[in-house]
Amino acid sequence: MQKGRETSTLSETEAEAVAQFYRDHGYAIIKGFVNGQDLDDMRREAAAVYAEGLKHPMTYYNGNLAFEILPEKHFGKRYVQHAYWFSWINEWFAKHRRSERMRALLRPIIGDEVKQLVEQLHWKPPGAGKTGYRFHQDYRFRPNPEQYQDIVGNSVNIGIAIDPCKTENGCLRIFPDSHKLGYLGLADDGDGTIMNGLSTDEELIQKGLNPKDMLYVELEPGDAVIWSLLTVHGSLPNKSDRDRAFAISSYVRAEASPNRGEWVFRGGESVPLGDVPQPCKDSANLNRPPGGVYEDSEWYLND
C-alpha cells in the first residue's frame, strides 16, 4: 500500500485500495498511517497511559477501563501488559479513535455508521516474559455472536505500531488468506489463555495452515495493519532489549451491533464518548463495584 500523505489521512482511492486488499487477503498494511506531530503525540500519550497503569499493584478494572498488570512479586518488577479503553482517561486517544484518518480508512470497509468494540494498548517490555501470543482468530473473543449481525463481515481490527515492531521484539505474525478458512478453534484448548505457551507447527498443520505461509508484519512507528476476526495471527515473545508498544482498535458497522459498542461515527460525523460507558465486548466489567476493583487471577503462573 502507498504511504499516506503528511496529514496521515488516506485519499478515497487509497482507502478503496486498502479495503480491496483487505477483503482479498484478510489483512492490509498502511505505511505512515500516523506521522509527523501526530506520531510524536501518540508515542507520548501511550507512555502516559503506561505510567498510569504502573500506579496499580495488580490488574485493575473500572467499567470498560482496565489495566492488566504483571506484578513484581512474580516478575521482579511491575509491568503493564495491556490497557483497555484508556480513552476514558486520555484526551488524545479519545480524539484519535474518532479521527478523520480513522473515518477515511473505515468508510469503504464498514461504512459511515460505526461503533467501537475494542480499544487496547499492548506492551512487550524487555524482560517481562509472557509476551508471546498463540496463533488465534479474534472471533473467539466475541462470546455472544447472536448479539451481532454478520460480525465477521462487518468488523475490522486496526493495529498501529508505536514502537518499531520487528521480528526480534515480537512483531505480529499472520497467515494471509486464512480468513477464508472459517473458524479453526486455534488456542481454544486448556484455560483458553492465548499467552500461555506458543503454537507449534504441528498444531497449525492440523488446522490446514502451512507454517511457510506465515508473514512477519514488520512495522515502523506510525505504520498500521488491519485484519479480520477470522485472520489467523499471533506473535513471539520479545527477545530484544527494546519495547514493543502496539495500539489496537476494533470497529463494527453499527447496524450489525445494535446492543454493544461505543459510537464513533454517525453519518460519517465524529461522535465523542458519552457520560456513561456502553457495553462493548463483555459487559461483565461494567457490573463491577463502582470506583474500580483489583483482581489477580495469576494466570501467568500456568504454562
In the chain, the amino acid numbered 274 is G
Provide the grid cell at 16. 478503496
**What is the tens place of the pLDDT at every residue in 64-107?**
999 999 999 988 999 999 999 999 999 999 999 999 999 999 99
**Average of pLDDT values for 14-34?**
98
Position 302 pLDDT exceeds 80: no
**CA–CA separation, 51 and 214 (whole Å):** 34
Q: Name which residue leads in pLDDT, 290 or 268.
A: 268
Domains and CATH numbers, the chain: 12-47+89-265 (2.60.120.620)
Q: What does pLDDT average to over the chain?
A: 92
Tell me the whole-structure pTM to 2 decimals: 0.94
- Residues 210 and 202: their CA atoms lie apart, in Å, by 10
Give the model confidence (pLDDT) of 109-128 as tens digits: 999 999 999 999 999 999 88
Q: How far apart are the first and last CA of the chain?
A: 39
Closest CA to 27 of 256, 206, 223: 223
* pLDDT given for residue 5 in this prediction: 38
Where is pLDDT greater, at 63 or 216?
216
Query: Mean pLDDT, to the nearest integer, of 30-40?
Result: 97
Residue 85 CB partners (closer than 8 Å, separation 6+)? 63, 64, 65, 66, 119, 277, 280
The string of pLDDT tens digits covering residues 154-204 is: 999 999 999 999 999 999 999 999 999 999 999 887 555 788 888 999 999
Mean pLDDT computed over 239-247 = 95
Q: Residue 98's Cα: distance from chain center in Å?
A: 16
